[in-house]
Structure formats: structure tokens, C-alpha cells
Amino acid sequence: MSVSQHAEILLKEARICLSNISSLNHRLNALISVRSPESVLTRVSDVVASSEPKTGIAGKLFAFKDNFCTVDQPTTCASQMLQGYVSPFEATVITRLHNHAHAIDVGRANMDEFAMGTDNIFTVYGPTLNPLYSSPHSAGGSSGGSAVAVAAGMCHFALGSDTGGSVRLPAAYCGVVGFKPSYGLVSRHGVIAFAQSLDTVGIFAKDVPTVREVLSVISAHDPLDPTSISTTLRQQLKDATARRRESGNGKYRIGIPLEFIVDSCSPEITNAWSAVLKKLQAQGHELYSVSLPTIKSALPTYYIISPSEAASNLSRYDGVRYGYRAIVDREANGVLYGVTRSEGFGSEVRRRILLGNYNLSSGAFHNHYLQAQKVRRKMQLDFDRVFVVDHPLEEPIDRDDDRPNVDFLVTPCSTGTAPLLSDVLSQKSPLDAYINDVLTVPASLAGIPAISVPWHTDHGDVVGIQVMGQYGDDDRVLDFSEIIMGL
């Protein structure tokens, strides 16, 4: 393909994306700020004309969640608390996409406030709607805007953050690919924290090769992120992956975790899961039932640890240094801090701050928070015992010879398809929404790579199938995900 032909294709794709934004965004509410079409097309033309070496995503358009800091537009986390706030520095992943890959952002994506939510309804910008349905359905959360932007053809790929499933669940609802890399593989610098031991930058796209191309750009050691994997370990992981690929025959050992067979899963989900497993078996892959006993405690563990970290992280929003500041009557002994936080944070954020502060209180710290951390450690060991590959950051673990070891775990990503927005808004208890995370939080607590790939059923439904692998085995998780998408 000639340079001029490639340039014409990029410009044509960019015009299509911009046209979709113009015609669909007012209804779907996926992007909360949008670059002008003229500026986007000019930047595409500049990338095409540049003589610099180009990546596979050069000139491609992307959106990013509103918790990624940039220096040229406000970063609000979809909250009243940060309206108008412009960061003095930019998120590392945004810089790498702009400067190293020459990708072009089209705007910021809607989200649940401070990434707390599962349906993208807790936002000052209003709910994001799922583009797969004519009637209002949930887009999933908290990275719903990013998932919808990709699903509706507004961009080639998008970035989100995944704390307990906030990339994979929207991907499952919207019928796109959503990937959460191993914790520490992608820099979190410049991503406003929800729960720092869980937050992971994730990628949305319509296919796995695009996800792989984006990951190759944003996966790099960052000295500004203390949790970033070292360059030495990255090379060791790359070498180990190459050896496994060379020694393999293209057939994998697939684990079916018994604890993921939950009563709340709808027939559409269980039937799709069964269909995928049968087709994998027909291709020669081996299926094994495996058990991870601590998974049953994953949800309460997550909802102790994540609100506790959130309560600590969000204590900085006090109305003094930056962000929203309430107007108080000082003559009536008005207290700035309390009023500012009550007015600046939405209901779900306030709820999780209260829960987190309780878990960190002297009366509950030992019985709640410390116990949850112990369960989390046991869960990580459960995953290590199941996988054939050893954890690269841990000592080799003793495995039970009577139990099968597998390359990957294949499970559903959600307990049902995208619910009606009216049903979500009418939920009487927050617990109804929290249960949606039951299938995604285990991978987040263990820090392992996990991906949701779309599976189209015979009845026209789209279901997210989740693949999980050992820590650092991200490339092979993507390899296997391509196999599922090709079934």
C-alpha cells in the first residue's frame, strides 16, 4: 500500500469516527468533551505527512476516561468536586500515545464519579447509554463512556481504568474487547486514584490485535509510578512468553472454576459460556474443572479494601487546595471541609467514603481491613496453584499433584446482559449493583491479566467471555483471546 493510499484510509476512518460523534454522542452521552473536527483532521494529516517511524496506531483516534490527567483541558472524574480542574501534568499513558505512537485523542469519556459504579449512572454529566439497544440500557461502569465510544465507532480504541471490573464489565455489555493488564505493567502516573492497589489502566477496542498494539505502546517502565514493573522484569516476562510459545503446540489447558458457577447467572450467560467451552474442546483444547475456594469471599474482600483505599485517597479534596469549594456562613460557624465534601461528592462516592472510614476505624480495622488483606493473599495463592506458570514475583509454589494445572481460566464476565436503565435506576439497594462485580473482582484482587471478549449468541445477544491468566502472561492471554474470537 502506498503512502498516499494509507493516508486516504486514515483520513476516511477519521471522518467516519467524527461523523459518528456528531450524530450519536448527543443521544449516547459517551464523550463529555470533544476535539473540533478540524483540529483532529489536521493532526491526522500531520501524522501522515511526518517522516518519523510510525506504529500501527499512528493516526488512529482514541478516547480516554475522564480520570486521566491532561494539561490542556479539565480533568473532572465526572464529579462536581473537580469541575474546572486542569492538571499541571499529563498522564504517562496519554503522553506515550501522543508522542511515541502518534495516536490522536478525540475527547474525554464519561464515567462513574471517581470510577465508583457499575452502570455509568453516578456522573454529573448524566448516564451513558448502550449503543447496542434502541431503548435505554446500561453501558456498564465505571468506564462506560470509553466502551460506548468504541462500540459506536467514535474512535478506534479507548482507555479506561479497571479497579474491580470497570473495563471488562462495560466491554461485556457493549460487545467490545476490554483488557485489564497485569497490575504494574502500565503506568498509573496521572490517573486519579480510586484504590491504588487495584487500579489498572485498561484498553477497549473492537479486536484483539488493536489491543495488543496499544499495549505495546503504553506498557513500559515509568519511574514516576512506584508500582511500575522494572525494565529487567519486563524483559524476563517477554523471554518467558517467547519460550512458552515455541514449546507449545497451539493447544491449551483450560480451567473452569467451579466457584464461578453462580445462581445469579442468567440462562443467556451460562448457555454462551457452555457453547464457548464446547467449541474450544472441539478444537483440541483440554478442559478441566478447577477450584479456587477463596473466590467465595472475593466480593466482600473487594468492598472492604477498595472503599478503605478510596477514603484515604479522597481525603485530599478539602475545598482548600484545589477543586470545588462550598460557600459557608463563617459567622454561623460554618465548617468548610464538611460542607464542601457533602456538596462536591455524589451519593455513591459519599457512601464508599463512609464505608472505607468505618473499615479503617480502630474498632473495625483488625476485624475487617486486615482480615480482608489476608483473604486477598490466600486468593492470590489459589490462583498460583491453579496455573501451570509460576508467578514471576513469587517463589515457586507447591502444587497438589492430584489437581490439574491450566494455562487459562475461562468464565463469564457478567451475570447477565446489559440491563434496562430504568431497572438500574429503580434498584432499592446499592448491593444490587455491587453483585455485578462478583465475576470480575477476583482477577483485580490477584493483580492478574483478564480480558472480556464478545460472544454473539444464536439469539442475537452479546455476552462477554472472560479469560484470565497468570501474572505477567498478558501476551498469551491475548493470543488465546484471539482464538475465542475466531471460533
Residue 407 CA to residue 253 CA, distance in Å, equals 5
Instruction: Give the pLDDT score at 304.
Output: 98
Q: With CA atoms as reference, report the closest residue to 225 among 69, 71, 83, 369.
A: 69
What are the b/e assignments for 334-344, b being 16+ CB within 10 Å?
Answer: eeeeebbbeeb
Q: Which of the following is catalytic: 161, 166, 187, 228?
A: 166
Write the CB contacts of 360 (distance below 8 Å, at least 6 apart in sequence): 308, 311, 312, 369
pLDDT digits (tens, 9 = 90+) for 174-209: 999 999 999 999 999 999 999 999 999 999 999 999
| Domains, the chain, with CATH or none | 3-231 (3.90.1300.10)
Per-residue pLDDT of the chain (487 residues; tens, 9 = 90+): 677 788 899 999 999 999 999 999 999 999 999 999 999 999 999 998 887 878 899 999 999 999 999 999 999 999 999 999 999 999 999 999 999 999 999 999 999 999 999 999 999 999 999 999 999 999 999 999 999 999 999 999 999 999 999 999 999 999 999 999 999 999 999 999 999 999 999 999 999 999 999 999 999 999 999 999 999 999 999 999 999 999 888 999 999 999 999 988 999 999 999 999 999 999 999 999 999 999 999 999 999 999 999 999 999 999 988 889 998 876 556 688 889 999 999 999 999 999 999 999 999 999 999 999 999 999 999 999 999 999 999 988 887 777 899 999 999 999 999 999 999 999 888 888 899 899 999 999 999 999 999 999 988 899 999 999 999 999 999 999 999 999 9
User: For residue 323, what is its C-alpha cell?
Assistant: 477543586
Task: Decide if 230 contacts 239 (C-beta within 8 A).
Answer: no
**Strands 157-162 vs 61-65: parallel, antiparallel or unpaired:** parallel
**Is 444 one of the annotated active-site residues of the chain?**
no
Q: 2: Cβ–Cβ under 8 A, 6 or more apart, which residues?
A: none
Instruction: Indicate if 65 belongs to the active site.
Output: yes
CB 254 within 8 Å of CB 285: yes
**Do strands 450-456 and 286-290 pair parallel, antiparallel, or not at all (unpaired)?**
unpaired
- If DSSP codes are grouped into helix, strand and coil, which group holds residue 158? strand
**What pLDDT shows up at residue 398?**
81
Which stretches of 314-438 are DSSP H helices? Answer: 336-344, 347-359, 370-386, 421-425, 430-434
Set 65, 138, 161, 414: catalytic member: 65
Active-site residue, selected from the candidate residues 87, 138, 142, 182: 142
In the annotation, is 166 catalytic?
yes
Residues 230/392, Cβ–Cβ less than 8 Å: no
Closest CA to 76 of 344, 355, 351: 344
- Buried b / exposed e along 79-116 (16+ C-beta atoms within 10 A): bbbbeebebeebbbbbbbbbeebbbbbbbbbbbbbbbb
**pTM for this entry:** 0.97
**Coil, helix or strand for 461?**
coil
Helix (H), strand (E) counts: the chain: 16, 11
Q: How wide is the angle at C-alpha 99 spanned by C-alphas 95 and 103, nearest 5°? A: 90
Q: Model confidence over 333-348: pLDDT tens digits?
A: 668 888 999 999 999 9
